[in-house]
Structure 1
Amino acid sequence: MSHRSRLSGFIIDCNTGDLDAAADFWAQALGCTVANRDAGDDTADYQMLGNTPGDLHIEVQKVDHPSRVHLDIESDDIDAEAERLEKLGAKKIAFVKRWWVMEAPTGQRFCVVKMKDPSRGQAPHTWPAPKD
C-alpha cells in the first residue's frame, strides 16, 4: 500500500533549565510567538511557536542531550516511511512513544512522526508501495 510523507517542521532541542526563556528567545529570534507553553505531555516538555513562516511547525523542546536542531518528517504510515528512509541509507535509532528517531547516513538525527493534518500546508508526497 502506498503512503504519504512531507517535512513537518523543526524542533529546537534545548538543554536548559528554563524552557520559557528558551522559547521566548527563539520566538523573538524567528519573529514568531509562543502559541502554546503547555504543548508537551507527561514525558515531553516542549512549547509550540506560532505565526511561523509558511505555517511551518516549530517546537522548542527541553532535552537532556546537547542542544541542537532536528527536523521531523510526518507520514500517514510511520513504519512504511521509516522503511523507505532505511532503503535510502538512514538507520532506525529508537521507537519513542509514537515516533521513530532515525539517523541520516551523514549523522543527523531526525524523527518520523504521525501526520497531523494532511490538508494543511504543502501537499504530502505519495510514495508507491514497496515491491516484494
Structure 2
Amino acid sequence: MSHRSRLCHFVIDVDDLDQGVAFWAAALDATEEELSANSRPVYRRLRLPDSEIRILLQRTNDPKTHKERMHLDLESDDVEAEVRRLEAIGASRHDHQQERGYAFWVLQDPWGNEFCVLNVNFPPLLTARPPHPGHR
C-alpha cells in the first residue's frame, strides 16, 4: 500500500493559550483557525499567510528546562527593526550570534521558547509579503 505524508504543524508549548495566540499571531501575521470544543482547552491552531504548515499551540504546565531542539527562524530585511517589533509584543532578546560570518538574534517568546531573526534568506518570498506597519 502506498501512502502520503506531509509536515502539517510546528508545535509550540505555552502555558496560556489566549496569550499564545495573541503573541504568535502578531509575530507571524497569522490567523487563528477554529478547532473543536474538545481540542480548545489544550490546543489552538494558527494559519500562516504564506504557508500550508500550521502553528499548533499546545498548553502545558511543564517548566522549560533547556534549549529547544527545534525552533522557528524568521527572516527580515531589517533585523533590528523586526527584533524591536517582536519585543514590543512580548519577545525578549536572548543572545546575539555571529557564526561563519553570519549574524542573527536569538529571541525568546513570553514562555522562554527560543526563535531566531535572520537576514534575508529567500528574497522573492520576503518581497511578496506586505511590510509591517511602521516599517521603513
Does TM, normalized by the shorter one, top 0.5? no
TM normalised by structure 1 equals: 0.45
TM normalised by structure 2 equals: 0.44
* Bigger RCO of structures 1 and 2 (CA < 8 A, at least 6 apart): 1
